[in-house]
């Protein structure tokens, strides 16, 4: 398959690009600063652009089968970053007839199926206390994706780590079985498994390391 990956130069994005290529996919990596992606491959096309530029985003989506967004807000991100990203990605996908979207976000974005433990509630409270705009920013993007008519899956993760050789991962909802961390390697595996398996359409599963 041919994939467009947004947020390709981030920690998770790099893992996505590398592992998608290893799995035999053709990858269009969209990056504001392409020099940060030190990967060369015959099946890799790097496109320079800003996620807030709708025309550039749409061009990067033209001709692909699936879109993955590994974008995420940080403490210094514009308040409307994820909202603008979702608007431009959804619009570009509709323009070019691409239906499948994998969208990454934090496990702090809740769904009715969640049964958060005291630990999960404590982490969420701290996030709201320390970086309230990060969660609000993420939720704006999620809501726009949910309200689209795309075949979306919102892949949620708890605290991300850089563990090099993690074990397998758990997938389900926020509850007693969801651990406190997910390696970026497993986050990339999780999203690529969603791409290849076609499961969890219009659902918001969460994953953690086992």
Rg of the chain taking only CA atoms, in angstroms: 16
pLDDT at 147: 97
Domain ranges within the chain, ordered by starting residue: 2-209
Whether the per-residue pLDDT at 163 is higher than 80: the answer is: yes
By the 8 A CB rule, do 166 and 107 touch? no
How far apart are the C-alpha atoms of 164 and 3, rounded to whole Å?
24
Calculate the average pLDDT of the chain.
94
Is residue 145 within 8 Å of 90, Cβ to Cβ? Answer: yes
CA-nearest of 189, 118, 120 to 158 is: 120
* Residue 12, helix vs strand vs coil: helix
Runs of H (alpha helix) within 62-183:
81-96, 118-130, 132-146
**pTM score above 0.85:** yes
pLDDT tens per residue across span 86-121: 999 999 999 999 999 999 999 989 999 999 888 788
Per-residue tokens: 86: 């979702």
Paired tokens of 195: 């791409």
Segment 43-69, tens digit of pLDDT: 999 999 999 999 999 999 999 999 999
Q: Strands 169-172 and 206-209, how do they pair? A: antiparallel
Top-level class of domain 2-209: alpha beta
Most confident of the ranges 71-75, 79-83, 142-146 = 142-146
Strand duo 169-172 + 159-161: pairing: unpaired
Phi first, then psi: give them for residue 93, nearest 5 degrees. Answer: -65, -40
Model confidence band, residue 123 (pLDDT cutoffs 50, 70, 90): confident
* pLDDT of res. 134: 84
Q: Is 102 left (phi over 0), alpha (psi -120 to 50) or beta?
A: beta
């Amino acid at each position: 398959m041919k994939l467009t990956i947004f947020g390709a130069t981030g920690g998770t994005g790099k893992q996505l690009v590398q592992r998608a290529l290893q799995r035999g996919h053709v990858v269009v990596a969209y990056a504001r600063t392409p020099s940060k992606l030190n990967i060369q491959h015959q099946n890799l096309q790097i496109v320079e652009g800003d996620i807030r530029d709708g025309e550039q985003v749409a061009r990067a989506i033209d001709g692909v089968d699936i879109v993955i967004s590994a974008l995420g807000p940080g403490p210094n991100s514009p308040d409307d970053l994820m909202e603008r990203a979702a608007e431009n990605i959804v619009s570009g996908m509709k323009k070019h007839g691409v239906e499948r979207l994998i969208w990454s976000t934090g496990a702090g974005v809740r769904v009715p199926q969640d049964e958060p433990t005291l630990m999960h509630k404590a982490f969420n409270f701290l996030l709201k206390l320390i970086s309230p705009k990060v969660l609000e920013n993420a939720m704006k993007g999620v809501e726009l994706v949910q309200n689209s008519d795309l075949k979306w899956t919102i892949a949620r993760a708890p605290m991300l780590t850089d563990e090099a050789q993690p074990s397998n991962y758990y997938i389900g909802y926020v509850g007693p079985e969801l651990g406190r961390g997910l390696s970026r390697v497993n986050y990339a595996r999780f999203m690529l498994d969603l791409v290849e398996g076609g499961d969890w359409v219009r659902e918001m599963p969460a994953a953690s390391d086992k």
